Chain A
Amino acid sequence: MKKQIERIFENVIFLAACTSVLCVILICLFLFSSGIPAIGKIGLKDFLSGTEWNPGDIPPSYGILPMILGSFFVTAGAIVIGAPVGVLTAVYLAKFCPERILKWLKPAIDLLAGIPSVVYGFFGVIALVPAIRNFLGGNGYSILTASILLGIMILPTVINVSTEAINAVPESYYQGSIALGASHERSVFFAVLPAAKSGILASVVLGTGRAVGETMAVIMVSGNQARMPSGLLKGIRTLTANIVIEMGYAADMHREALFATGTVLFVFILIVNLLFLLLKRRTE
């Protein structure tokens, strides 16, 4: 009897463990099977490199290049703004911060990660958009606004993963450098950081994934015009925004094209994730 219960329990937890595998399989299956036929109908080249997205026209055009470039520019902007600040903050937390301040700063980073993306978006709308409009011109809903907001949003990811990477470097690297007469700063930057290189790179890659996939905050501040990017202060639409904005009323081929947009986004994310896993493995 007891053995039977043990056996049953073992099976139950085995099933539970397989749930995540099942979920990944289902997600891949559904996203690919609903996106690929649409891409086939539109034509891979027309879909990925078409510069017109006009599902309402006759004949309709389904080119997502504007959205791919939109996601690309916004993400690149976020990395340019967020990555240096994030990595340097991580250096501060790992090597410069006194213990009694660290006690306060660590929860603060968690808070930054915990703020919901619609609250970030709302903050963008009421604080960043008017600021950009007043100081730099345009209507404020722009690539720059979205980049700044996303730059802030990826900070906790970059900081946490980088801090871990820096802390994982053996203390002897630092001590050796100090013993050779280098200052604290030089030891940290020229002995410890190079050793944590791939971990830091991994943090930036993970941040990239976050930025590409971010939806609500970007929709709220980026203007969402489905056209080719034409300037830092002009609006654009990202892949994620395209799905959310049009899914509500899309039908037939239009809807399938949106699924296909999701498939493209998913493939980008899988590539970014793979890169992250590879980098992380190298650190270990």
Chain B
Amino acid sequence: MERRLGRIKAKIKRYRKNPLSLVLFILVTASACITFAVLLFIIGFILYNGIPHITADLFAWEYSSENASLMPALINTIIMVFLSLILTVPTGVFAAVYLTEYTKKQSKLAAIIRITSETLSGIPSIVYGLFGFLFFVTTLKWGISLISGVFTVSVMVLPLIMRTSEEALRAVPESYREGSFGLGAGKLRTVLSIVIPAAFPGILSGIILAAGRIVGETAVLIYTSGTVAKIPSGRDFMFDSARTLSLHMYVLSSEGLYTKQAYATGAVLLFIVLAINRTSGFLAKRIMKGNKGWRK
């Protein structure tokens, strides 16, 4: 206790001699406090206002103008995430494999691929939405439908999957590959049964992050998958319009008729996204630990 007091006293003395340092220290600490206060406030506010309004009605199987159920939107979201990942995960992971295993870091093509992927990740979601509307909806004549939404969203999360997979693959120690080659395995075998499994938690963390991004997206989907609050069914279900959860949230809050339901939907949406986000963070942390363990 006394030692601590002494340390604080010494600090005060130092700051007195050097007021600028104190000002800088206060600025930095205050900024950090603001950032985290804002985060806590937003999450707290949404959950606090939303949770009391969550009712069984909200999870009714069919949407009606009375219950404003989020169930169809929730199921549509799951379908959307699932189908998009089917398209984008193999593409993204294979692209990352190409970049890390099959080409030199300095090669021209790799540079072009990297630049395009960075360009893609900087494009805002509304531009993707516009592109999806022009290409999938209009030119390919798929209409405003689930499949148009799936393809557009897949293009959007592709750079995310590519980047996280590439990082994960690069983190695999060179000795794994050398060991595999040394035992007589070919390149394909090394990649598929040594490198990818070793990088798997990192790849998975990226995939989950992408899922979170898809769940949260709105502007991309408003004119590609549309706003019909029904679960697509039948033979041509891919060509039905399907509203996802965040779009549902947007429609509810912009109509202004369903304030309570909007609060509750906001809380549910936030909860889902945060849960997805934490899962991804947890996995990412685990690989870091795993790698350290190997080095020892």
A119 with B269: CB separation less than 8 A: yes
Q: Smallest Cβ distance from A117 to chain B, in angstroms?
A: 7
Interface string of B89-102 (1 = CB under 8 A from A): 01111110111001
- In the complex, B158 has a CB within 8 A of chain A: yes
- In the complex, B159 has a CB within 8 A of chain A: yes
- In the complex, B75 has a CB within 8 A of chain A: no
- In the complex, B215 has a CB within 8 A of chain A: yes
- In the complex, B175 has a CB within 8 A of chain A: no
C-alpha spacing A86/B36, complex, angstroms: 11
User: Which one, A13, A34, A265, contacts B94 given CB within 8 A?
Assistant: A13
Q: A6-B186, A186-B21, A265-B127 are in contact. Are A17 and B95 (CB under 8 A)?
A: yes
A107 with B281: CB separation less than 8 A: yes
Closest partner residue, chain B, to A27 (CB atom): B131
- In the complex, A125 has a CB within 8 A of chain B: yes
User: Which one, B25, B30, B99, contacts A17 given CB within 8 A?
Assistant: B99
15 sample A-B contacts, Cβ–Cβ < 8 Å, listed by A number: A2-B186, A16-B91, A19-B158, A20-B158, A27-B128, A92-B29, A107-B281, A108-B36, A111-B277, A114-B216, A118-B269, A220-B254, A243-B126, A244-B222, A272-B122
Q: Smallest Cβ distance from A166 to chain B, in angstroms?
A: 12
Q: A31-B130, A214-B124, A259-B134 are in contact. Are A89 and B35 (CB under 8 A)?
A: yes
- In the complex, B86 has a CB within 8 A of chain A: no
- In the complex, B78 has a CB within 8 A of chain A: no
Chain B binding surface SS class: helix
User: Which one, A184, A220, A259, A272, contacts B130 given CB within 8 A?
Assistant: A259
Q: Which of chain B's residues have a CB closer than 8 A to the CB of A127?
A: 45
- In the complex, B180 has a CB within 8 A of chain A: no
C-alpha spacing A159/B36, complex, angstroms: 12
C-alpha spacing A261/B130, complex, angstroms: 10
Q: Which of chain B's residues have a CB closer than 8 A to the CB of A277?
A: 115, 118
- In the complex, B56 has a CB within 8 A of chain A: no
From residue 84 to 119 of chain B, which have CB atoms closer than 8 A to chain A?
90-95, 97-99, 102, 109, 112-113, 115-119
Q: Which residues of chain B have a CB within 8 Å of any CB of chain A?
A: 14, 18, 20-22, 24-25, 27-32, 34-36, 38-39, 42-43, 45-46, 49, 90-95, 97-99, 102, 109, 112-113, 115-120, 122-131, 133-135, 139, 155, 158-159, 162, 186-188, 212, 215-219, 222-223, 246-247, 249-250, 253-254, 262-263, 266, 269-270, 273-274, 276-278, 281
Q: Which residues of chain A have a CB within 8 Å of any CB of chain B?
A: 2, 5-6, 9-10, 12-14, 16-21, 23-24, 26-27, 30-31, 34, 84-86, 88-89, 91-93, 96-97, 105, 107-112, 114-123, 125-127, 152, 155, 159, 183-186, 188-189, 206, 209-210, 212-216, 220, 240, 243-244, 247-248, 259, 262, 265-266, 269-270, 272-273, 276-277
C-alpha spacing A24/B266, complex, angstroms: 33
B91 with A19: CB separation less than 8 A: yes
A186 with B24: CB separation less than 8 A: yes
C-alpha spacing A276/B250, complex, angstroms: 31
Q: A34-B134, A93-B32, A213-B126 are in contact. Are A115 and B273 (CB under 8 A)?
A: yes
A213 with B123: CB separation less than 8 A: yes
Q: A30-B139, A240-B124 are in contact. Are A17 and B98 (CB under 8 A)?
A: yes
B21 with A183: CB separation less than 8 A: yes
C-alpha spacing A2/B216, complex, angstroms: 44
Q: Which of chain B's residues have a CB closer than 8 A to the CB of A30?
A: 131, 134-135, 139
A185 with B218: CB separation less than 8 A: no
B125 with A17: CB separation less than 8 A: no
